[in-house]
């Protein structure tokens, strides 16, 4: 396949480009940011929030599939209005252009934050670990924009022209970040282990960027065998924590003790069972062996 990867200059985008290329696919990165040195993949600069430019890019490359990662990547990095408008418009423009121009498969990145954790007004999960059936409760502009992106995916899937899916990658960790490079939001992975309050804001979730890339490749390669319009959690099988989440979540994340009671040491707050059952995907990397 020829696959366009939007947001190809980002930590996840670079890994997706590399992972797809290693599996024999032709890849092109699309981003407003320049490609980082040494990636070795074709890059095309474009602002996909502009509908005309988005159509022009899809029409020029006529890809078989698109992995859409371009977005304001986290809450509170830009104004609320800018974050929501940018992310929602990117998802809609990309899906509309792909549908109209005959792209076979589109995979759109959402976020675990749609579940609603971190809400200063309080958050009580219906159950843990969280899976795709758990009710969503987005409370800030970023998580709202990702919930809208998921609805856009379902809407285009319902049209029956092409395959549209969404995935919620957990806190992405690249290879250089295992070795001590700064992570998203600042600090290092080791600091998130040593200071649990830092990882608690994401309920101690994470995923190795290479594993997320493997998921994207499997989804694209098996898109015709999966019911259209699916959403997937994509995360490591364990938590980014030294100690059980049954203790850490009530202490650092405000999760009621009774909700976290079954999360023993090594058990994550998020379940990727659906990706395993529908695609055969399993994460291959864990902080316990990757951290330098």
What is the residue-wise DSSP string for 120-154? TT----SSSSB-TTSPP---SHHHHHHHHHHHHHH
Q: How far apart are CA 166 and CA 216, in angstroms?
A: 10
Backbone angles phi, psi at 130, to 5 degrees: -75, 140
Share of the chain above pLDDT 70, in %: 99
242 in any annotated domain: no
| Alpha helix segments (H runs only) across 231-284 | 245-252, 257-260, 273-279
Residue 70 in this model has a pLDDT that exceeds 60: yes
CA 213 – CA 251 distance, rounded (Å)? 33
Domain that holds residue 77: 2-172+206-236+270-284
What confidence category does residue 35 fall into, taking pLDDT thresholds of 50, 70 and 90?
A: confident
Each residue's pLDDT tens digit, 233-279: 999 999 999 999 999 999 999 999 999 999 998 899 999 999 999 99
For the cut 90, the answer to whether the pLDDT of residue 284 exceeds it is yes
Euclidean distance between the first and the last CA atom of the chain, given in angstroms as a whole number: 35
CB-based contacts of 40: which residues, under 8 Å, 6+ apart?
none
The rounded distance, in Å, linking the Cα atoms of 151 and 6 is 19
**Predicted confidence (pLDDT) at residue 97 exceeds the cutoff of 70:** yes
Is the pLDDT score of 161 beyond 80? yes
270 DSSP 8-state letter: B
pLDDT band at 94 (very low <50, low <70, confident <90, very high): very high
Give a yes or no: residue 76 inside a domain. yes
Q: How many domains does the chain have?
A: 1
pLDDT at residue 36 is higher than 80 = no
Tens digit of pLDDT for each residue in 102-130? 999 999 999 999 999 999 999 999 999 99
What pTM was estimated for this model as a whole?
0.96
CA-CA distance, 175 to 183, in Å (whole number)? 11
Decide if pLDDT at 170 tops 60: yes
Q: What is residue 37's predicted lDDT score, i.e. its pLDDT? A: 56
| Cβ–Cβ under 8 Å, residues 219 and 226 | yes
Asked if the structure places residue 60 within a domain, the reply is yes
The CATH number assigned to the domain holding 39 equals 3.40.50.720
Residue 289: inside a domain: no
Alpha-carbon distance of 187 to 180, in angstroms, equals 9
Asked if residue 100 is part of any domain, the answer here is yes
Angstrom CA distances, 16 to 36, 70, 200, 237, 265, stand at: 14, 12, 27, 20, 30
Residue 182 lies in a domain: no
Place of tokens 């049954």: 246
What is the enclosing helix (H) or strand (E) of 109? strand 105-109
Tell me whether residue 197 is in a domain.
no
What integer is the mean pLDDT of 137-163? 97
Task: Provide the pLDDT for residue 201.
Answer: 95
pLDDT at 19: 96
The mean pLDDT value of the chain amounts to: 96
Confidence of residue 40 (pLDDT cuts 50, 70, 90): confident
Average pLDDT over residues 84-90: 98
């Amino acid at each position: 396949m020829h696959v366009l990867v939007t947001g190809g200059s980002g930590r996840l985008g670079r890994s997706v480009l590399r992972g797809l290329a290693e599996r024999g696919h032709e890849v092109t990165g699309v981003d407003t940011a320049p490609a980082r040195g040494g990636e070795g993949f074709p890059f095309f600069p474009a602002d996909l929030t502009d509908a005309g430019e988005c159509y022009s890019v899809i029409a020029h490359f006529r890809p078989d599939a698109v992995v859409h990662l371009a977005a304001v990547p986290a809450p509170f990095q830009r104004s609320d209005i800018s974050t929501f408008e940018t992310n929602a418009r990117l998802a809609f423009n990309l899906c509309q252009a792909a549908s109209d121009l005959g792209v076979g498969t589109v995979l759109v990145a959402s976020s675990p934050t749609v579940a609603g954790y971190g809400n200063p007004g309080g958050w009580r999960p219906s159950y843990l670990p969280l899976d795709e059936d758990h009710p969503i409760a987005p409370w800030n502009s970023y998580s709202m924009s990702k919930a809208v992106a998921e609805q856009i995916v379902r809407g285009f899937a319902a049209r029956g022209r092409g395959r549209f899916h969404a995935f919620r990658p957990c806190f992405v960790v690249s290879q250089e970040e295992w070795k001590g490079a700064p992570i998203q939001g600042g600090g290092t992975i080791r600091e998130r282990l040593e200071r649990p309050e830092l990882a608690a804001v994401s309920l101690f979730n994470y995923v190795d960027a290479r594993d997320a890339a493997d998921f994207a490749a499997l989804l694209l390669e098996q898109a015709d065998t999966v019911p259209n319009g699916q959403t997937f959690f994509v995360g490591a099988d364990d938590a980014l924590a030294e100690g059980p989440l049954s203790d850490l979540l009530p202490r650092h994340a405000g999760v009621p003790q009774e909700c976290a009671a079954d999360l023993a040491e090594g058990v994550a707050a998020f379940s990727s069972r659906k990706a395993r059952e529908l695609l055969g995907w399993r994460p291959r990397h864990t902080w316990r062996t990757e951290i330098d």
